[in-house]
């Protein structure tokens, strides 16, 4: 879940944000609609917490204009419809957000999670061998939550890394506020350009995309929907079905109080997303994430992200490359 543009100065908005966008793009919206770009900025922040930087207004205006035109509405009519029609609301949010990420974007973080999963497996095996009355109903799964997963690259990268170590007792949940991104993530289909980013040891977990005549009808509608959502080149390969048993995706708005799952997580990875939120929202989000982390579990942020955070229930781990926090009390 990302937005294009410079977000280095979110706390000091420009007093005249319309000047940040190209006049040619604004002209059609202003005519007869009384268009207020700040009103739309506030709406996006209210709905998903994102503070759209002024340099991003061109993208916002394009999203508004395209959504209005696709439904035969004026901008003023669109404004009144988004509060009543969830489909239109979701379409606008999908167009504002950028869904792309990269496979194995930050290898030190992925390596850290993989080592944690291996250690968890060893500890569970030892505990099981020593405990003659071991509870078979207890949750021995190593659970990972990828927050703001976009179109799934980070989530699938984690799955490949764990699978390359022959781990099987894990589950990974990827969440994003964009339905369009979640649809693509679930398909697990990507173009050849992204295949080059996958390490040699993980290439075994991808396969060539099946020909159209091999795709059954029940799957066809889902594929068609995803293809409409994609802006990249033609998809050439897909994630192996064996990995899909360990990964799930869900639509989730991180500023909402309700979590996407009732399971506590061993690792929560939330990278390159918090910078789009105001500092007080960042604190609230991090506090909620810590509540959904098991005791001894970890929250991984992007390097240099949320350095102001000083929670009483978490401690920062000294790591040269990973911005990681461990839960030390409830």
- Distance between CA atoms of 39 and 226, rounded to whole angstroms? 31
Question: What are the residues whose beta carbons fall under 8 Å from the beta carbon of 178, sequence distance 6 or more?
Answer: 1, 93, 94, 97, 99, 150, 251
Q: Under CATH, which architecture does the 107-327 domain have?
A: 3-Layer(aba) Sandwich (3.40)
- Distance between CA atoms of 100 and 77, rounded to whole angstroms? 30
Query: Does an H or E element contain 61, and which?
Result: helix 57-70
User: Phi and psi dihedrals of 319, rounded to 5?
Assistant: -140, 130
Beta bridge partners of 300: 269, 324
Number of H helices, E strands in the chain: 12, 10
pLDDT in tens, the chain (330 residues): 655 433 333 433 333 333 343 444 444 544 545 688 899 999 999 999 999 888 888 889 999 999 999 999 999 999 999 999 999 999 999 998 866 689 999 999 999 999 999 999 999 888 877 765 555 445 789 999 999 999 999 999 999 999 999 999 999 999 999 999 999 999 999 998 999 999 999 999 999 986 544 444 444 444 444 444 443 445 689 999 999 999 999 999 999 989 999 999 999 999 999 999 999 999 999 999 999 999 999 999 999 999 999 999 999 999 999 999 999 998
- Domains in the chain: boundaries: 17-96, 107-327
Question: How confident is the model at residue 230, as a pLDDT?
Answer: 41
Give the predicted TM-score (pTM) of the model.
0.82
Question: How confident is the model at residue 295, as a pLDDT?
Answer: 97
User: Phi and psi dihedrals of 109, rounded to 5?
Assistant: -65, -45
Question: How confident is the model at residue 160, as a pLDDT?
Answer: 98
Question: How confident is the model at residue 330, as a pLDDT?
Answer: 87
Question: How confident is the model at residue 10, as a pLDDT?
Answer: 40
Assign residue 199 a region: left if phi > 0, alpha if psi is -120 to 50, beta otherwise? beta
């Amino acid at each position: 879940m990302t937005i294009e543009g410079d977000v280095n100065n979110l706390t000091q908005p420009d007093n005249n944000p319309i000047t940040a966008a190209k006049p040619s793009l604004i002209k059609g919206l202003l005519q007869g609609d009384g268009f207020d770009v700040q009103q739309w900025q506030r709406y996006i922040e209210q709905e998903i917490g994102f503070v759209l930087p002024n340099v991003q207004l061109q993208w916002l205006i394009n999203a508004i204009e395209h959504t209005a035109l696709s439904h035969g509405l004026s901008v003023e009519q669109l404004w009144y419809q988004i509060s009543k029609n969830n489909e239109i609301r979701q379409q606008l949010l999908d167009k504002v957000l950028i869904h792309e990420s990269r496979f194995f974007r930050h290898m030190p973080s992925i390596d850290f999670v993989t080592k944690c999963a291996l250690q968890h497996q060893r500890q569970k095996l030892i505990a099981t061998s020593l405990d003659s009355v071991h509870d078979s109903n207890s949750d021995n799964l190593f659970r990972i939550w990828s927050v703001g997963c976009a179109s799934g690259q980070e989530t699938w990268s984690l799955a490949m890394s764990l699978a390359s170590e022959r781990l099987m007792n894990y589950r990974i949940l990827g969440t994003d506020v964009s339905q369009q991104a979640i649809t693509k993530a679930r398909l697990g289909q990507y173009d050849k350009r992204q295949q080059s980013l996958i390490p040699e040891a993980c290439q075994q977990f991808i396969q060539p995309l099946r020909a159209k005549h091999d795709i059954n009808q029940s799957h066809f509608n889902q594929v068609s929907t995803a293809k409409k959502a994609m802006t990249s080149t033609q998809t050439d390969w897909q994630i192996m079905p064996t990995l899909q048993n360990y990964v799930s995706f869900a639509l989730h708005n991180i500023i909402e109080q309700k979590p996407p799952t009732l399971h506590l997580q061993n690792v929560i990875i939330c990278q390159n997303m918090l910078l789009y939120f105001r500092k007080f929202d960042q604190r609230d989000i991090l506090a909620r994430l810590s509540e959904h982390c098991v005791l001894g579990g970890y929250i991984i942020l992007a390097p240099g992200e949320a350095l102001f955070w000083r929670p009483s229930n978490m401690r920062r781990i000294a790591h040269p490359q990973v911005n990681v926090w461990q839960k030390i009390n409830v």
